[in-house]
Amino acid sequence: MDPTDLNLVVLAAAALLLAAVAAVRISTRVGLPTLLIYLAIGLAVGESGLGLDFEDAQLTQVLGTIALAVILAEGGFTTDWATVRPVAPLAGVLATLGVAISVAVTSGLVYLLLDVDVRTAILLGAVASSTDAAAVFAVLRRMPVQGRLRAIVEAESGFNDPPVIILVTVVTSSAWAEANGIEIAGLVGYQLVVGMVVGFLVARAGQWVLVHSALPASGLYPIATFAIAFLAFALAGVAGASALMAIYVAGLSLGNARLPHRAATAGFAEGLAWLAQIGLFVMLGLLVSPGRLIDALPYALVVGASLTLVARPVSVLLCATPFRVPWREQAFISWAGLRGAVPIVLATIPMSEGLPAAHRIFDVVFLLVVVFTLVQGPTLPWVARRLGAAVEHQPRAVAIESAPLEELDATLLQFSIEPGSRLAGVEISELRLPPPAAVSLVLRQGEIFAPSPSTVLRTGDHVLVAAAREHHAAVESRLRAVSDAGRLAGWYAEPHRGAAS
């Protein structure tokens, strides 16, 4: 490639990226999930639009897996473990037994209603049954939904990829007819458990390194944090476990730890996740041949209806009832099981293996995602209100950013007083911070000043606290307690979580 060609490629890529960023604003205004806009951009640039020919299913599978890893890492990093922990057992059951039920019911209905063989029916059921983390995170985090219900659906979408990947891989292999259900279940269990253990252990070791390191630039902390998450991804893959499970757990563990420059890391992670979503969906749009989609539409409607209206509700009913989940919440969980990139990426596996029905499976799944995202995404807020799952907007917990001062063996903590925080109206002396800690500076309406003990904090203030390293946790815990309960909060009040929301 000569410099002129390189310039043209960079120009096209930059224009495409800017168009994708602008599309977020458009999709937000019209209430459409952004994934549909990105898929449309891919179609517009592809063979039936600007003429870019892209047919590499194997490359799509590899790059799609990396993009999903980035999305899962960011999703885990920004998930509150205190909210997820009570619902983790239910999410785990939905991600394993629930997926198995969805696959069985969908595959059975597809085999009965469509003119397909057993293998194709199983593949369609398996590929379509996995909820998508990118779609779930993007849609639910913009909606005022009960934290418990959001946590259930988000955790399920983070946990349910490994079982489906294993099933699709087994069914597309040459020995699929001899596959043993017990062996598949054992393989799923091994991948899930070992992936979780590897992700957790790598994250804990990485947390210790980050906390005890004084890197020369704050911008290095986000890079190091993501490197740790991908180290978990790679080690789990080498161990034959689920790399996607490992990176999700690593992100969850790191995101709920006290890390230096956490706010900068969260912003970095969000930017990478957006880039991964844009690249993934545009690439999947490029892989589609629009001329084949009309023939696949009836199949997509049958598979999608079987999954969305029958299989998904049945699986949620059977899995959630033992946990005494009310039927209204079950209905919301069922309708919020959005499909997106994961099913389309999984549909590239049969294409990579050269199965006779591979292109039909890909086309059906692509259309299924588009059609049912158009149905479920825009209607989800209405469904949430009707089922009582929606809540009034609540103020976020106080976000505390910290930076280590290695030579002074101290830490600087920075936080802002959001509307609704009970820190507003509290005097500096009433914070009752540990004696070595002190409120050093306050930024109020563009003015910086050193507060006195009688200074009253106000909404919108930006506050800087200096504390000895060993008192970091106690200071942060106290600030969160006062933010939640006011000046009379007990000294040992339990914070919502160990890191900023």
Could you write out the DSSP letters of every residue in 99-122? HHHHHHHHHHHHHHHSS--HHHHH
User: For the chain, what percent of residues have pLDDT higher than 70?
Assistant: 89
Q: What φ, ψ does residue 390 adopt, rounded to 5°?
A: -80, 150
Determine the Cα–Cα distance for residues 404 and 146; give it in Å rounded to an integer: 35
Rounded mean pLDDT, 297-306: 92
Which has more pLDDT, 115 or 105?
105
**Residue 499, pLDDT above cutoff 60:** no
* Domain ranges across the chain: 31-174+184-386, 400-485
Q: Name the average pLDDT for the chain.
A: 83
Q: How confident is the model at residue 491, as a pLDDT?
A: 47
**Residue 202, pLDDT above cutoff 90:** yes
Q: How confident is the model at residue 406, as a pLDDT?
A: 53
Q: What φ, ψ does residue 78 adopt, rounded to 5°?
A: -100, 15
**Residue 228, pLDDT above cutoff 90:** yes
pLDDT-derived band of residue 500, with 50, 70 and 90 as boundaries? very low
**Residue 444, pLDDT above cutoff 70:** yes
Rounded mean pLDDT, 176-195: 78
Which has more pLDDT, 298 or 181?
298
Domain 31-174+184-386 in CATH 1.20.1530.20? The answer is yes
Report which DSSP code applies to 160. S
User: For the chain, what percent of residues have pLDDT higher than 90?
Assistant: 21
Q: How confident is the model at residue 217, as a pLDDT?
A: 77
Q: How confident is the model at residue 397, as a pLDDT?
A: 55
**Contact (Cβ atoms closer than 8 angstroms) between residue 463 and residue 456:** no
Q: How confident is the model at residue 30, as a pLDDT?
A: 57
pLDDT-derived band of residue 148, with 50, 70 and 90 as boundaries? confident
Determine the Cα–Cα distance for residues 158 and 71; give it in Å rounded to an integer: 10
**Residue 501, pLDDT above cutoff 50:** no
Lowest mean pLDDT among 23-27, 72-76, 354-358, 404-408: 404-408
**Residue 101, pLDDT above cutoff 90:** yes
CA distances, 397 to each of 251, 284, 394, 498 (Å): 20, 37, 9, 11
Q: How confident is the model at residue 492, as a pLDDT?
A: 43
pLDDT-derived band of residue 110, with 50, 70 and 90 as boundaries? very high
**Residue 265, pLDDT above cutoff 50:** yes
Task: Assign a CATH topology to domain 400-485.
Answer: Alpha-Beta Plaits (3.30.70)
- pTM of the predicted protein model: 0.74
Rounded mean pLDDT, 266-276: 87
Q: How confident is the model at residue 493, as a pLDDT?
A: 42
Nearby residues of 254 by Cβ (< 8 Å), 6 or more positions away: 76, 77, 203, 206, 207, 225, 228, 229
Question: Which tens digit of pLDDT belongs to each residue from 64-82?
Answer: 889 889 988 988 888 888 8
